[in-house]
Amino acid sequence: MSRLTVFNFVSMNGYFKGANEDISWAHSRPEDEYGAEMLKAGDVLLFGRKTYELMVQFWPTPEAMKTSPEIAEGMNKAEKIVFSRTLDKVEWSNARVMKDNVIENIRDLKQSNGPDMTVLGSGNIVNQFADAGLIDEFQILIHPIALNQGTPILGELKTNLELKLVNSKIFKSGNALLVYQPA
């Protein structure tokens, strides 16, 4: 069976996006070592349309290869699924669009012997998958910043989500990785 993991960065007060969907604060203290290690796992990367549009503007570029070569290589080589009702095609290498029956399709992929999957960003998708009980692990990278406004992670859940802490790591940057699994 395949596993489904969520990796997301958040502010100390629980926002994964700031005002006007700003995420620049999360890149002021990147954890390239952890990101590169995570991408070596060979997981299929899952994105909502908005996250895909942000990622494709940077990771396939020479600037990405210059500033974060290991992560850029991993992002570009990985198989990617983009959830969108409005996109008909995607331009990034190894990427495809999934338009309909997202919950059922991911449930089927999880039942397969295929690779594990990791959702990056994509708050709406994370909420849907959490409500459907599809997520095996949450990897939350907390940045030492409090934002005055933003979008909370898991802010649109329909039911409570009980989790247990299974791992943690503190980085030199002050970021803290908390790893949770369903209780």
Domain ranges of the chain: 4-182
What is the model's pLDDT at position 30?
60
> The dihedral of CA 97, 56, 35, 170: what is its sign?
negative
The rounded distance, in Å, linking the Cα atoms of 14 and 91 is: 32
State residue 80's pLDDT score.
96
Res. 131 pLDDT band, cuts 50 70 90: very high
What local confidence, expressed as pLDDT, does residue 5 receive? Answer: 95
- Kindly tell me if the per-residue pLDDT of 6 is higher than 90: yes
Residues 152-157: what's their mean pLDDT? 92
> What is the spatial distance between Cα 143 and Cα 18, in angstroms, rounded to a whole number?
13
175: how many CB neighbours lie within 10 A of its CB? 19
Comparing 17-31, 69-83, 168-182, the range with the smallest average pLDDT is: 17-31
Q: Is the pLDDT of residue 35 over 80?
A: no
Contact 73, 38 (CB under 8 A): no
Neighbouring residues of 100: CB distance < 8 A, sequence distance ≥ 6: 85
- Distance, in Å, from the CA atom of 183 to the CA atom of 181, rounded to the nearest integer, reads 6
Topology classification of domain 4-182: Dihydrofolate Reductase, subunit A (3.40.430)
Q: What is the pLDDT of residues 64-94, one digit of tens each?
A: 899 888 888 888 999 999 999 999 999 999 9
CA distance 183 to 161: 8
